[in-house]
A and B are shown apart, each in its own frame.
Chain A
Amino acid sequence: MLAEVPSATLLGVEGHRVLVEVHVGQGLPGFTVVGLPDASCREARDRVRAAVLSSKLKWPDTRITVNLAPTHVRKVGSGLDLAIAMALLGASKQLNPEALKGLMFLGELGLNGTLRPILGILPLVDSLSAGRVVVPAENLAEARLVRPDARGVRTLTELVSALRAEEPWPDLPVRESTSGPAEVYCDLAEVQGHPVARRALEVAATGGHHVLMVGPPGSGKTMLAERLPGLLADLDPRGAMDVSRVHSAAGLLRVHNGLLTRPPFRSPHHTASLVALIGGGSTLLRPGEVSLASGGVLFLDELGEFPAAHLDALRQPLESGIIRVARANANVTLPARFILVAATNPCPCGVGQWGECRCTPGQIARYGRRLSSPLLDRFDIRLAVDPPEAAMVFAAQRSGESSMQVRARVERARMRAQERGVSSNRELRGEALEKFAPLSDQGRMLLRSRLETGSLSMRGAQRTRAVALTLRDLEGTGGPITTDDLEGALLLRGEEQQIGVLA
């Protein structure tokens, strides 16, 4: 009469355990689902009924009540279909309730009884404790990343016969996703010229410093940004899990050899909606681009073209590494710890060359005002990117260091930062900076003189120090911050007023 089957529902990038209770009892024939299901979840009624009938199973002509507990958590999507069907079969005595013990079900049902894959298998499976998880065959590879004992099935019939011990459990090969090869990273060795930018990328990768690139179209801003992930170290197991969860929840996880281990690179277009960028939506609370870039690089090309509201929404994640998305009946925290790389033209006409620019000072001022100074403040590295000269492009291909060579240096230097208890030097503030980045006497003098001439603000001086510490880490020798480090940091920091040329 009554059966319970554990399953899970997705909210943000977290799975939440849901107990599916089905009661089959006296009364007028009917089928109701209660317990805060959303529209797609309530549609399960029709899918489950059709799937049960198509699989030559009996549909009880009595009153059927499905309860999804806990009832205060909103249930979204079709992932509970399979669990509802199994609980129903148990309650109507078509399956021995004993056979269902210790099993958990995830999956969407087709009308013909086939099992369809669902989003977010990784966090869903992860949220289910003791017991064996049964998932659609296509989700098996992903489920096995966290539960090597997960079982995959193709159809409802197959599952029922296995549970009735009429047939053995299907021994499915783990089908790895074949769509597209592994992410190919562009190599830094392909970059012609740009000696300062190369160094800037290395420093950004090491210290996690946000980078602003200013330059005319065709100067190589995008090309440089794309090469930053290749310089980042592989994700550690926890990072890999976090990144994979987000990608799984967004339906973007391609399973090849386990979890994602390379830092992601996301470059949303400037027409992206606020929800697409930040995450949310009325029902599913999907992770947005900032979360998908978590652990890697978020590249915003044409920064000035992004609506001001979107850019200001970036300030919380830039500060805290997470983003809180709140809706009337749901509230999730999504990871958002990324290196922000932004590119912009120097002025509306884009030329930005001294004397060639056709913009009026007013236009340039308006263009610069689009970027709020709190946002610009977050960029520790501000690069003026120039198109390389034609002579250099076609000169003998003097290739620089490859990404692998640089990455090795970055990894070594990053270890030092982690010894300080932060994931990157970017996060060092105030006292921590005072403690970990002591200045040499000459270094102190240099900073003081820059402060006095007004070419550096107090905050600028602090950030310069953090970048100098990263340069020191790359040097690998330890000791207090020298003038050399500070000078390098000052060069990378560039001007406070980077956008707009006075020409």
Chain B
Amino acid sequence: MTQVAPKQNPSPDLPHEAYLTALASLDQVGPARMRWLLSFGSPQVVWQLLRAGKIRNPPAQLAVKPPQLTEWVAQANSADPQQIWSACCALGVGVVSLGSPGYPPALAADIDPPVVLFHLGNPDLLSSPSVAIVGTRRATGYGLRVAEELGAGLAEAGVMVVSGLALGIDAAAHFGALSVGESGAAVAAVVGSGLHAPCPVRNRKLASRVASSGVIFSEVPPEVSGAPWRFPVRNRILAALSDAVVVVESPGAGGSMHTVREALARDIPVLSVPGPIDSRASEGTNRLLSDGAEPCLGVDDVLMAIGLGGKQANASPPNPIPSQQDSRPIPDEAGERALATIGWRPVSVEHLAARSGLEFQQLASTLSWLETHGWIQRTGGWIERRARSDEPERLRGRPT
């Protein structure tokens, strides 16, 4: 237990972030366990104590079992902080620790700041104001659309969009914010897995886009893969980095609700996008509204919530449906009939045919016309009515 290999003697020039990274790389170490470990001294001291097996008696609430402690000792004795550190540097991942100059001020003032923070991209872009857009991974077309529009609208207004790089709402918000390009605000993400172990893998390309025009944070060392417990834990960083949290779609219980709780604990305003009352994906957001959350009917509501100017001069309601400036040609009678049958929820072609009573040929021509002129869009056998012609294409076949 106490054998210390001489070659592993601490190099004097190793920064203390190196030891923090090594500690964070230990199996099953999250922020709470990290805080306990650091109560024994500086990271370097803790590392040595751990190797010597002198760290004992974890508090009960951390639920560290003896075998876990033994495992840590073994890991500490086999791992070399020097190696971990140079690997981390080689990957181009930036590391800041609480108290160091580059540490984001928004987090430094937080009630539960991460001790060490890894980042890809430029952390200096992290600017106030910023808004977190969160929601379910199993989003409906409506949710994806709203998230993308909010992302784009906020980025355009100079607000940094923060999200979690998950599938569904998160990805849609990122896509929306990125779609604005150079003229918009930077984009930020907080992920629950290591920066070089992206999770989900499908969003890898999106992650590199976010890193190149913004910043991605993680409190997990770069190559540690994301365990399920790490995702709720990262939600507190997401909330702490934001001036407001917008929930686009969420079932009654889920990660987004966790982010909401973290936001409420920090007195950060929470906005919720209303949805159909019979849609499972809007169960949580509608519940939030009935519990008193601010309704989010458009970008303006979010801007108001973070104190950025009021309604725009034209004072039109946000995202009027249908918009007065609708440039689409008026559909003929069959088109009207089809649109009325479609309503505002996705329907199948079969359903539409049976309900509208249109003959096959007429239906085919009508749908083709409506699609060409931006009245409807098709996704995986479903037909959805589009509210406005300028509305961004839904994230079908999303680049991943």
Contacts and interface: CB of A to CB of B under 8 A. Distances in A.
B372 A354 contact: no
Contact of A491 (B138, B345, B349): B349
A484 B365 contact: yes
28 contacts: A193-B350, A196-B353, A346-B380, A355-B279, A355-B280, A356-B280, A362-B202, A383-B350, A384-B382, A385-B348, A385-B350, A386-B348, A484-B361, A484-B364, A484-B365, A487-B367, A490-B364, A491-B360, A491-B363, A491-B367, A494-B381, A495-B380, A501-B380, A501-B382, A502-B141, A502-B379, A502-B395, A503-B281
B396 to A, nearest CB: 7
Interface in A359-405: 359-362, 365, 382-386, 388-389, 392
A455 B394 CA distance: 13
Contacts of A274: none
Given A193-B350, A361-B137, A365-B202, 13 more contacts: A195-B360, A359-B138, A361-B168, A362-B202, A386-B350, A386-B351, A389-B354, A497-B397, A498-B381, A499-B380, A502-B395, A503-B140, A503-B141
B140 A355 contact: yes
B211 interface: no
Contacts of A73: none
Interface string A318-341: 000000000000000000000000
A488 B281 contact: no
Contacts of A355: 140, 279-281
A227 B283 CA distance: 42
Contact of A500 (B348, B353, B380): B380
A194 interface: yes
A346 B363 contact: no
A487 B350 contact: no
B2 to A, nearest CB: 46
Interface in B340-356: 345-346, 348-351, 353-354
A160 interface: no
Scoring B360, B381, B397 by chain A CB atoms within 10 A of each residue's CB, the highest score goes to: B381
Binding site of A, secondary structure by majority: helix, strand, loop or mixed?
loop
Given A199-B360, A355-B281, A384 B381 contact: yes
A214 B138 contact: no
Interface in B116-146: 137-141, 144
Contacts of A490: 364, 368
Contacts of A501: 379-382
Interface in B275-313: 279-281
A386 B383 CA distance: 13
Contact of B381 (A199, A359, A382): A382
Scoring A384, A483, A498 by chain B CB atoms within 10 A of each residue's CB, the highest score goes to: A384
B200 interface: yes
A312 B236 CA distance: 48
B144 A502 contact: yes
B350 A195 contact: yes
A499 B397 CA distance: 12
B37 to A, nearest CB: 34
Contacts of B371: 455
Contact of B361 (A488, A495, A497): A488
Nearest to A198: B360
A362 B200 contact: yes
Contacts of A503: 138-141, 281, 346
A197 interface: yes
Contact of A354 (B144, B345, B353, B395): B345
Contacts of A382: 381
A325 to B, nearest CB: 36
Interface residues of A, number: 44
Nearest to A359: B138
A496 B378 CA distance: 10
Contacts of A273: none
A494 B349 contact: yes
A69 B350 CA distance: 61
Contacts of A499: 380
Scoring B144, B168, B350, B353 by chain A CB atoms within 10 A of each residue's CB, the highest score goes to: B350
A357 B138 contact: yes
A186 interface: no
Contact of A497 (B140, B360, B367, B396): B396
A311 interface: no
B197 interface: no
A382 B380 CA distance: 10
Contacts of A496: 397
A217 B200 CA distance: 30
Scoring B144, B349, B351 by chain A CB atoms within 10 A of each residue's CB, the highest score goes to: B349
A89 to B, nearest CB: 68
A195 B380 contact: no
Contacts of A497: 379-380, 396-397
Nearest to B372: A449
A446 B279 contact: no
Give the 8 A-B residue pairs with the shortest CB-CB distance, closest first: A384-B381, A487-B364, A491-B364, A487-B368, A488-B364, A386-B350, A195-B353, A386-B348
Contacts of B380: 346, 384, 495, 497-502
A397 to B, nearest CB: 15
Contacts of B280: 355-356
A302 B361 CA distance: 30
B138 A360 contact: yes
B140 A487 contact: no
Contact of A488 (B351, B360, B397): B360
Scoring B138, B363, B365 by chain A CB atoms within 10 A of each residue's CB, the highest score goes to: B138
A483 B346 CA distance: 26
B384 to A, nearest CB: 9
A196 B200 contact: no
Interface string A467-503: 0000000000000000110011011001111111111
B350 A214 contact: no
Given A196-B363, A199-B360, A484-B361, A446 B368 contact: yes
Contacts of A362: 167, 200, 202
Interface string B164-201: 00011000000000000000000000000000000010
Interface string B236-252: 00000000000000000
Given A354-B345, A360-B138, A495 B378 contact: yes
A357 B346 CA distance: 13
B350 A346 contact: no
Contacts of A357: 138
Nearest to B384: A354
Contacts of A494: 349, 378, 381
A421 B392 CA distance: 47
Contacts of B140: 354-355, 502-503
A487 B365 contact: yes
A362 B395 CA distance: 16
Contact of B382 (A354, A365, A385, A455): A354
Contacts of A196: 349-350, 353, 360, 363
Interface string B92-128: 0000000000000000000000000000000000000
Contacts of A194: 350, 354
